[in-house]
């Protein structure tokens, strides 16, 4: 019985090493590092978007529409509902979503162009020759 327990413990130990190695590989993979950089930059960009919303967009809305974006509604017990803060958060979200959409669209476009150029560059001499023959045959018809 003790022998079986030692074997099970050995297997469990090996599984633990495999898990740790797999986790190290996951962490050190480029995608995870890129994602971490993206999160940090996104957090910094959030400050810019918040400043834009609070210091530029909200005053414009207040001046044009005469409505106070930073408004509150008083309810029972001295409590207030800060609907202006909610509107500001929604505007921030929409700006961030728009920026991310445009950024991803640009990155996907660049990646697509790179793949097309790579596919064209990997044509062998035989393929190029066959394409040339095909084009000559089309012209002669």
**Contact predicate 53/35, CB 8 Å:** no
pLDDT tens digit sequence for 82-131 = 877 788 888 888 888 888 888 888 888 887 886 766 666 667 778 888 88
Asked whether the predicted pLDDT for residue 133 surpasses 80, the reply is yes
CATH class of 2-140: mainly alpha
Asked whether the predicted pLDDT for residue 5 surpasses 80, the reply is no
CA-CA distance, 64 to 75, in Å (whole number)?
A: 28
Query: Closest by alpha carbon to 46, among 97, 108, 110, 107?
Result: 97
> Angle at CA 41, nearest 5°, toward 40 and 46?
100
Enumerate the domain spans of the chain.
2-140
CA-CA distance, 133 to 73, in Å (whole number)?
A: 78
Per DSSP, 75 falls in state -
pLDDT tens digit sequence for 31-59 = 777 777 778 888 888 888 888 888 888 77
């Amino acid at each position: 019985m003790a022998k079986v327990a030692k074997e099970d413990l050995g297997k469990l130990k090996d599984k633990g090493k495999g898990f740790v190695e797999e986790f190290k590989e996951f962490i050190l993979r480029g995608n995870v590092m890129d994602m971490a950089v993206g999160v940090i930059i996104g957090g910094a960009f959030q400050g810019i978007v918040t400043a834009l919303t609070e210091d530029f967009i909200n005053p414009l809305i207040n001046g044009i529409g005469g409505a106070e974006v930073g408004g509150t509604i008083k309810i029972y017990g001295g409590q207030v509902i800060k609907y202006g803060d909610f509107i500001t958060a929604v505007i921030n979200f929409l700006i961030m979503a728009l920026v991310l959409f445009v950024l991803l669209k640009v990155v996907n476009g660049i990646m697509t162009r790179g793949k097309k150029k790579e596919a064209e560059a990997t044509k062998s001499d035989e393929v190029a020759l066959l394409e040339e023959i095909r084009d000559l045959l089309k012209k002669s018809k």
